[in-house]
Structure 1
Amino acid sequence: MDARPPLPPFTAETAAQKARAAEDAWNTRDPERVSLAYSENSAWRNRDRFVNGRAEIVALLTDKWSRELDYRLIKEVWAYEGNHIAVRFVYESRDAEGRWFRSFGNENWEFDEHGLMRRRLAAINDVPIRESDRLFHWPLGPRPADHPGLTELGI
């Protein structure tokens, strides 16, 4: 089994590194790539869906990104201890009809000794926004290093 550093127990620095790595991966919108950060038997609660294992994670993310177009995400560490990290996140996306949404959420993460996430619990709320109210304008892919985070944006 390959390790996925940084490994627990987390510090402020390593928790932030883990959150940014997750953000960068999710911004690729590549379900297979994203799934590799999770243990083979990872258990998720994502909104009202419960999934187990990488194959189900890939299916959930494939479905998600087929509906949530032009997806851009920012994550920020809220708290950490031992092998747990809590993050808050915001993402913007549009649907097939061109309606934009800002989605606010919290995730609780639990990692195994190899640095793979074995549990992810996510609560997410969607708010319709006008296209002119969007805050995330970088080219599709990872957020540029100089783009403000959630705290700097005041959200």
Structure 2
Amino acid sequence: MTINHEPRPPFPPFTRETAAQKVRMAEDGWNNRNPERVALAYTVDSQWRNRAEFSVGRDQIVAFLTRKWATEHAYRLIKELWAFDGHRIAVRFAYEWHNDSGDWFRSYGNENWEFDEYGLMARRYASINDLAITAAERKFHWPQGRRPDDHPSLTELGL
């Protein structure tokens, strides 16, 4: 049971339209890189697997995201709806970032999400692989924050 929740529409069961809306809302939140704000989209006892790291609850989510964005500089993310059913959504994503040495990467992955009745994500399972790229190979060019509506999607970029 979710406690201390603030409903986050759209709510399950999802349609193609509402699932795509949920995906874009998640992308926007992560691109703003505010760990405390992002954590509010998850249940207080949300369960995560991100690569080989397991987190439970908002406090651990905030700690994870704080560490992540302290080392992944110039972070830009695109998410795309892959599938949905009832209260579950699957997405594919890619994000670009550089490390403290200035080495660039594009990280590719898939996420499986499960939502409670209030539209909060109760489970998030992410599998991610990193590809070293050059600065010239970058494809995600927009100012920090929300990806512009006219920026190509993963499919349009051939990713």
TM-score scaled by length of structure 2: 0.97
Superposition deviation, residue 2 in structure 1: 2.2
* 3-state SS of 2:149 partner: coil
Superposition deviation, residue 4 in structure 1: 0.3
Quote the residue 1:108 is aligned against. 112
Quote the residue 2:101 is aligned against. 97
Aligned equivalents of 1:109 and 1:138: distance in 2? Answer: 27
Quote the residue 2:75 is aligned against. 71
Aligned equivalents of 2:139 and 2:105: distance in 1? Answer: 11
Alignment of structure 1 residues 3-152 onto 2, 5 Å: 3-152=7-156
Structure 1 residue runs without a partner (length 5+)? none
Aligned equivalents of 2:95 and 2:137: distance in 1? Answer: 13
Taking only aligned residues, the RMSD between alpha carbons, in angstroms, comes to 0.5
Structure 2 residue runs without a partner (length 5+)? none
Aligned equivalents of 1:149 and 1:37: distance in 2? Answer: 23
User: How many residues of Structure 1 are paired with residues of Structure 2 in the alignment?
Assistant: 155
Aligned equivalents of 1:44 and 1:53: distance in 2? Answer: 8
C-alpha distance after superposition, 1:75-103 (max 9, x if no partner): 00000000000000000000010000000
Give % identity.
64
Aligned equivalents of 1:93 and 1:142: distance in 2? Answer: 15
Flag as ranges the 4+ runs of structure 1 deviating above 4 A.
Answer: none
